[in-house]
Amino acid sequence: MTNPMQTAEARISASAFADTKPHYDILDGLRGVAALTVVCFHLFEAYATSHLDQRINHGYLAVDFFFILSGFVVGYAYDDRWRRMSVGEFLKRRLIRLQPMVVIGALIGAAMFYTQGCSVWDVSKVTVAALLAATLMNALMIPATPGVEIRGVGEMYPLNGPSWSLFFEYIGNLLYAFLLRRLPTRALAAWVALAGCGLAAFALWGPYGDICVGFALTGDNIAGGSLRLLFAFSAGLLLSRVFRPVAVRGAFWIGSLAIVAAAAVPRIGGSEHLWMNGLYDAFCAIVLFPLIVYIGASGRTTDRLTARLCKFLGDISYPLYMVHYPFIYLYYAWVKNEGLTFAQSLPGAAALVAGSVLLAYLCLKLYDEPVRRLLTRRFLPTRR
């Protein structure tokens, strides 16, 4: 969503080659914190009438954090590998890393689709043939147009909404393979600056006063989603090139608090002053999140508890991001159909979060890791 999207990527990359690199455990942990923030943000969609009154109001910014992490980790893991690795091999590695969870997210979404009916979307009118077509499209990362998608709310991927960020993640990886990795650092810095100006302009003067865009095949969503990816992924890549660690104590806890606090800030400026919230979004995406990544990469885990927590959060971050949303659709329908307040639905909300974490862990151990090992043995060369 990589988007949490690169759990232990540097470790996986290192094991695929003869040499090893230090692993950024704290960045894994921060990715997991951001993924949990996204789950909680999505929970409150059931009670919001618009972005203006959404609780955990800026939880959507976690995607920008994921994109920055993705660029940083991809640059760190692969920038010095290109004499021994072709573009085709790189793309295979990225597909093996990301695509299995895309597929399982689509299958879970399809299996649950007919249980999610409510006044906002009438699933009873969707034929089995249309559901199967949508499942195949989601599994293959083919986006649905607003007039075609089966849920009727305009999402690219109506069975598992967060797949939209993987659509842009793949674009970022293609850009890296064919263009960004070839840019000198100064040219990359200029690219990042231009993309940052574009993102800030969209945030301040765009139609929404925020950058919660990218999930639909509409002009504003494609423009805004592209700017989010172009800045964040490239900024992470640039940071991986110029990074020089400094001594930071408590980096995981500092970064975690910053992510949660940034997401929890209420909407700024209301509908009368959209630019105010846009300014906040731009600050978080362009200034705060690169700083958090810098702090996280500089820090080190110094006790067993923090190390284990970071590993667990990092391991489940991408699976959690990719499996929780079908249950959000179900929760949303339950709240709407029963007319529940948040207090009344709190046990269900808690069960959703805990169940999503458990399912993410099970998917990781029983499906994602075995499938990736199988695909790696089958399609990637053995390094000696």
Helices (H), 50-86: 62-78
Whole-number Cα distances in Å, 137 to 91, 106, 131, 179, 332: 20, 9, 10, 28, 24
Q: What whole-number distance in Å separates Cα of residue 282 and Cα of residue 280? A: 5
User: Which residue in this structure is represented by tokens 């064919």?
Assistant: 178
What confidence score (pLDDT) does residue 16 get?
Answer: 40
In a domain, 384, yes or no: no
Residue pLDDT, tens place only, 56-99: 999 999 999 999 999 999 999 999 999 999 999 999 999 999 99
Which are the contacts of 72, defined by CB distance < 8 A and separation ≥ 6?
27, 236, 237, 239, 240, 243, 293, 297
In a domain, 41, yes or no: yes
In a domain, 1, yes or no: no
- Which positions of the chain have pLDDT values less than 50? 1-3, 5-19
Total count of domains within the chain: 1
What confidence score (pLDDT) does residue 383 get?
Answer: 61
In a domain, 37, yes or no: yes
Q: Which of 361, 334, 359, 364 is nearest to 349 (CA)?
A: 334
| Domain carrying residue 24 | 9-379
In a domain, 49, yes or no: yes
User: Which residue in this structure is represented by tokens 């846009």?
Assistant: 278
What confidence score (pLDDT) does residue 381 get?
Answer: 81
Could you say which DSSP state residue 266 is in?
P
In a domain, 270, yes or no: yes
Size (the chain), residues:
384
Q: What whole-number distance in Å separates Cα of residue 71 and Cα of residue 69? A: 6
In a domain, 134, yes or no: yes
Q: Judge contact between 153 and 45, C-beta under 8 A.
A: no
In a domain, 227, yes or no: yes
Rg (CA), the chain: 20
Which are the contacts of 304, defined by CB distance < 8 A and separation ≥ 6?
none
pTM exceeds 0.85 for this model: yes
> What is the three-state SS of 292-348?
HHHHHHHCCCCCHHHHHHHHHHHHHHHHHHHHCHHHHHHHHHHHHHHCCCHHHHHHH
Q: What whole-number distance in Å separates Cα of residue 10 and Cα of residue 74? A: 8
